Chain A
Amino acid sequence: MTTIATTEEPTAPARRRRRMPLAAAIALVPAAIIVAVVYVGCMIWTVRLSFTSSRLLPNLDFVGFSQYERLLSNTRFLTSVENIVLFGVLFIAACLVFGFLMAVFIDQRIRGEALFRTIFLYPYSMSFIVTGLVWQWVLNPTLGVEDTLHKLGLTFIDVDWAVNRDTVVYALVLAAVWHGAGLVMAILLAGLRGVDADLWKAARVDGIPTWRVYTSIVLPLLGPMIVTAVVLLAISVARLYDLVVAMTGGGPGIASDVPAKFVMDHLFERSNIGLATSAATMMLITVAIVLAPWVYARYVRPQVPR
């Protein structure tokens, strides 16, 4: 009897909505467990292990930053960092330029648009293992492209890129661009199709050449799409592992090693858990520094209550 009055208050529905719906909470339990155990728990575990002297088996002693000191004087790790930086810059730049050009040229009301689109994107559907193995064969130093070029009389061109320690990273970039440039094309083409048609009319009336419209007006309009493409490409750079394993095995020697492979090898083959987890932690820190502000601005802050 005493509660009757509250049902007429305007705050009542809001209060009812705020009550925790049990079934919804239960439905979120699997995701919550995964976040707590894997994304938070395993991450902390790895960071903790990086401060131990663990080798084949994990132990929980505390050796301070000595694994990190060892890591930063490890030639193989330093090579892998150099490689991933070089690879990342070249791969992202090449994919953006090539992908943008493909999108612009496809957007010129051409015949067979669907066919070109399909051809440009199909490598993206395949695995890095397939990509790596194909390019390993195409770039085979005796039987591959080099053989054909030499038979055509172009004997001054050597296509030993994948087996030469000075060029092996470029060979990886070539294969990765083949795999990923179509992705940029697809994203930017969707963006180009969203550009206001009036803009093109206005530009034509003003007599601005088409290429000027693309570089000065359309490109800035595509900003968000380009950011998206860069984020997707950057994730695949940070994860770069399969392609290297399949195409070069990290070789010749350690010339094409990358951090992800460094971690995996030290975990499972070289039984150096302390060093491996410290390298993994370095990867984590790098990615966090690069991406956390972007994720925060894009996903966490603009939460609109509904």
Chain B
Amino acid sequence: MSLPPPDPEGRRPKTVTAGRVGVYAFLVISAAFFLIPLWVMLMTSLKPMEEIRLGNIFSLPKLWTIDPWISAWSGACTGLECHGISVGFMNSVQILIPSVILSIAIGAVTGYALSFWRVKGANVMFGCLLLGAFIPYQVFIYPLVRLFAATGLYNSLLCVVVVHVIFGLPLMTLLFRNFYQGIPIDLFKAARVDGGSFWSIFLNVILPMSAPIIIVATILQVTGIWNDFLFGVAFAGRENLPMTVQLNNIVNSMQGERRYNVDMAATLLTALVPLAVYFLSGRWFVRGIAAGAVKG
């Protein structure tokens, strides 16, 4: 993996040159740029408001407190409701789980059918699906709102789930189709000769091989759906707002004095799920980014 590989006559001697110092200086300054907001968020969330009003956003708290976190979780107000961001957390979880499972299941089956079976018009459909992935969501939102309103689904958790499945489909299908194109067709043919049907080949042959791509898809969907704001705003309704929407309502609400420490605690709480996914998944996360686009 490392490049360039060790030369026959040995690696470059590890002396401190101006170039090496420059390399590390650049990397450390860049790292600082990326870390500063996280640091500021964390420090602000652990300070009392009296300290925050003095400025010094980079400094450590003189008086450490976790009250802002408690308040953010269970007491912060959006409009007249003061139940904290935990309400949004629960809504997000209820949206996340069915959305992830459904979108991956439909994406996997669609990708499988597209890769191994010849269905008339399937490639045209796939082309439309891919084009759909590039179109700004604003183009679809109003008609979808009308459709959901007509079916009585509008402003419910289920509605947001359906929307996530709809707009997750292009990427999920692409992901699984690309993965299945890498599986030797002979394997599929052998299963066909053995009399396997569409579903039995999928369940017994293809699905057991799909673990890597299912992990990638899960990472992409969990972070993507958790971080969604637009669909939550447009489809969830007042009672079911996901965490991101509620966070924005808490922080950017005009009522009363801004409590920056509570705001930052709530922001960190909202970021916790995708951050956990990111740090636990390691290289899989990068693979997820690459899988959608590079291999296509």
Contacts and interface: CB of A to CB of B under 8 A. Distances in A.
Interface of A: 17-18, 20-21, 23-25, 27-28, 30-32, 34-35, 37-43, 45-46, 49, 58, 98, 101-102, 105-110, 116, 118-130, 133-138, 140, 142-145, 147-148, 151, 178, 182-183, 186-187, 190, 192-193, 195, 197, 200-201, 204, 224-225, 228, 231-232, 235, 238-239, 241-242, 245-246, 249, 259-260, 263-264, 267-268, 273, 276-277, 279-281, 283-284, 287-288, 291-292, 295, 298-300, 303, 306
B34 A127 contact: no
B185 A105 contact: no
Given A28-B122, A287-B136, A291-B131, 17 more contacts: A28-B114, A28-B125, A30-B110, A35-B132, A39-B128, A42-B140, A58-B146, A108-B23, A120-B31, A126-B271, A126-B274, A138-B37, A143-B52, A144-B57, A246-B248, A281-B139, A306-B181
B138 A283 contact: yes
Ranked 7 nearest A-B pairs via Cβ: A127-B227, A23-B198, A147-B55, A24-B117, A125-B278, A39-B132, A42-B143
Chain A interface, >50% SS class: helix
Nearest to A47: B139
Nearest to B115: A306
Given A20-B119, A147-B57, A280-B138, A195 B37 contact: no
A235 B56 contact: no
Nearest to A118: B279
Contact of A143 (B7, B55, B138, B279): B55
Candidate in A34, A136, A260 with the most chain B CB atoms within 10 angstroms:
A34
Chain B interface, >50% SS class: helix
B122 A122 contact: no
Contact of A127 (B129, B136, B244, B296): B244
A246 B271 CA distance: 14
B99 to A, nearest CB: 14
Nearest to B292: A232
B263 A133 contact: yes
A197 B56 contact: no
A80 B237 CA distance: 27
A28 B119 contact: yes
23 contacts: A24-B117, A31-B169, A34-B169, A43-B139, A46-B142, A108-B20, A122-B275, A124-B289, A126-B227, A126-B275, A134-B267, A137-B44, A143-B57, A187-B290, A195-B3, A201-B4, A242-B230, A246-B252, A259-B136, A264-B141, A267-B142, A277-B142, A284-B136
Given A31-B110, A125-B223, A187-B294, A283 B136 contact: yes
Nearest to A239: B136
Interface of B: 1-5, 7, 20, 23-24, 26-27, 30-31, 33-38, 40-41, 44, 52-53, 55-58, 106, 109-110, 112-114, 117-120, 122-123, 125-132, 134-144, 146-147, 165-166, 169, 173, 181, 185, 197-199, 223, 226-230, 233-234, 244, 247-248, 251-252, 260, 263-264, 267, 270-271, 274-275, 277-279, 285-286, 289-290, 293-294, 296
B132 A268 contact: no
A46 B140 contact: yes
Nearest to B219: A125
Given A31-B129, A135-B37, A138-B57, A21 B247 contact: no
A106 B2 CA distance: 11
A105 B110 contact: no
Contacts of A137: 40-41, 44, 57, 260, 263-264
Contacts of A197: 3-5
Contacts of A119: 31, 34-35
Contacts of B141: 263-264, 267, 280
A209 to B, nearest CB: 11
Contact of A116 (B7, B27, B173): B27
Contacts of B129: 31, 34-35, 39
